[in-house]
Amino acid sequence: MQHVPDITVPAIDVEKIRKDFPLLQEKVYGLPLVYLDNAATTQKPQIVLDTLMHYYIHLNSNVHRGVHHLSQEATAAYENSRKTIASFLNARKPEEIIFTKGTTDSINLVAYSFGRGEIKPGDVVLVSAMEHHSNIVPWQMMCEDRGAELKVIPMDENGELIMSAFTELLTDKVKIIAVTYVSNSLGTVNPVRDIIAQAHARNIPVLLDAAQAVQHMPVDVQELDVDFLVFSGHKIYGPTGTGVLYGKEEWLDRLPPYQGGGDMIKTVTFAKTIYNVLPYKFEAGTPDISGAIALEAAIKYVQQIGVENIQAWEEQLVEYAAQQLQQIEGLRFIGNAKHRSGAISFLVDDIHPYDLGELLDKQGIAIRTGHHCAEPVMGFFCIPGTVRASFAMYTTFEDIDRLVAGIKKAAAMLR
């Protein structure tokens, strides 16, 4: 075991937390698993698994329809989840929380509805150079459809947005700005308050992709004054296929619906359909009821540990990892932002990231290799991909030590 910096957060008992996650007890290739691919998806605590099972054993019924007991119980549980998520984000009202399939689905919803309602030919949509494909392609499709233009806020070699260029891009043509709070490929935390303030000075709404933020730091939508904020359930210890769109009530009221179907309507005739009120207007069809309820369990679990405590713990992990990785000969960081969270991307000499990833895998260490669904970022750095280690509340200093030892061993074989 190498030198461990002073741990100033006794508030988080990592060993106890790890016991709550069954998958962390698994072995791969006969070795204890080191799971450092949390930016792709997190493992699930037992309470989330129990909640899923409990729903199907005791509550399963469709929501918002039946008068019978079970349907009322299921509806209450589903709507309670909405309330918990609203309070987690400090939204004004639960109606500002829309359940979706995930971040990608949430962004597609906003891009489609905003495009239909607000975008005219010649308008501009701003995204940043470090977006995940899911915060590029939906806007690109909408722009193509509406005759609008997609422009990009550039970044520098450290993986930080060039804010002077952002200010210059702000014209009256810009109708919406969609940026990531935390970069999935570089770990950069963007100056979102500054972005939102400058945008609002020109009455431009902002969508924040918080897929890599909500599990790592406190997020308060009122304090941020953000117009739309999206995240995925499965990256915050919840089930896959769940996600959230937060939108300010006035925006969600103003935008046309996304998909048509059951639940999103008030009355239907063949001549005209009157849409339902928020949040149902944006939730066509039977939702992922069990998923939404289990997502509540995940968020309550996070709240119980305390997001601030998680943040403090993970900041130490990132700092320790950066410090230890730096000592590996030939290792260079891809993205070196002053303020970063959750993930570290790197390459070692000219070793192909797939080679390194494969040899780490055989040592029981799960990391991500490749372009991380952010090909423009890889293009900017002229690399085929990176090796990315990403952290969670259950990551330990020992995990990082094994990663560092694993990289050294793999690099010695590959050089």
Partner 1 sequence: MTIKEKQDELISDFSFMENWMDKYEHIIQLGKELPLIDEKYKTPDHLIKGCQSQVWLHTDMQDGKLIFTADSDAVITKGLVSLMITVFSGHTPKEIAESEIYFIDAIGLSSHLSPTRSNGLLSMLKQVKLYAIAYEAKSQSQKNGKEL
Q: Annotated active-site positions, please? A: 373
Q: Tell the smallest beta-carbon distance from residue 136 to partner 1 (Å).
A: 22
Question: Which one of 359, 365, 378, 393 is in contact with partner 1 (CB under 8 A)?
Answer: 359
Establish if 362 lies at the interface with partner 1 (CB under 8 A): yes
375 binds partner 1 (CB under 8 A): no
**How near is the Cβ of 329 to partner 1 at its closest, in Å?**
17
Please state the closest distance from residue 29 (CB atom) to partner 1, in A: 7
* 413 in contact with partner 1 (CB under 8 A): yes
**CB of 131: closest distance to partner 1 in angstroms?**
23
378 binds partner 1 per the rule CB under 8 A: no
Residue 71 found at the interface with partner 1 (CB under 8 A): no
Q: Does 349 bind partner 1 (CB under 8 A)?
A: no
Q: Which stretch binds partner 1 (CB under 8 A): 90-98, 109-117, 280-288, 355-363?
A: 355-363
Under the binding rule (CB under 8 A), the answer on residue 329 touching partner 1 is no
Q: How far apart are CA 220 and CA 89, in angstroms?
A: 5
Q: Which stretch binds partner 1 (CB under 8 A): 43-51, 118-126, 267-275, 350-358?
A: 350-358
Cβ closest to partner 1, residue 150 vs residue 383: 383
State which of residues 170, 207, 351, 377 lies at the interface with partner 1 (CB under 8 A). Answer: 351
Q: How far is the CB of 383 from partner 1 (least distance, A)?
A: 11
Q: How far is the CB of 143 from partner 1 (least distance, A)?
A: 31
| For partner 1, the closer CB: 172 or 358 | 358
Cβ distance to partner 1 smaller for residue 67 or 382: 382
Q: Is 384 an interacting residue with respect to partner 1 (CB under 8 A)?
A: yes
Contacts of 19 (CB under 8 A, 6+ apart): none
Stretch that binds partner 1, among 118-126, 171-179, 264-272, 359-367 (CB under 8 A): 359-367
CA–CA separation, 383 vs 334, rounded Å? Answer: 10
Question: x/- binding map, residues 248-267, to partner 1, per CB under 8 A?
Answer: --------------------
Stretch that binds partner 1, among 35-43, 76-84, 361-369, 392-400 (CB under 8 A): 361-369
Instruction: Answer for the pair 107, 155: CB distance below 8 angstroms, yes or no.
Output: no
Cβ atoms 312, 101 nearer than 8 A: no
Among positions 29-48, residues that touch partner 1 (CB under 8 A) are 29
Three-class secondary structure assignment of the chain: CCCCCCCCCCCCCHHHHHHCCHHHHCEECCEECEECECCCCCCCCHHHHHHHHHHHHHHCCCCCCCCCHHHHHHHHHHHHHHHHHHHHHCCCCHHHEEEECCHHHHHHHHHHHHHHHHCCCCCEEEEECCCCHHHCHHHHHHHHHHCCEEEEECECCCCCECHHHHHHHCCCCEEEEEEECECCCCCEECCHHHHHHHHHCCCCCEEEECCCCCCCCCCCHHHHCCCEEEEEHHHHCCCCCCEEEEECHHHHHHCCCCCCCCCCEEEECCCCEEECCCCHHHCCCCCCHHHHHHHHHHHHHHHHHCHHHHHHHHHHHHHHHHHHHHCCCCEEECCCCCCECCEEEEEECCCCHHHHHHHHHCCCEECEEECCCCHHHHHHHCCCCEEEEECCCCCCHHHHHHHHHHHHHHHHHHC
Considering the complex, state which of residue 263 and residue 355 has its C-beta at the smaller distance from partner 1.
Answer: 355
CB of 44 to partner 1, least distance (A): 24
137 interacts with partner 1 by CB under 8 A: no
Q: Which residues here bind partner 1, judged by CB under 8 A?
A: 29, 351-352, 354-355, 357-359, 361-363, 384, 409, 413-414
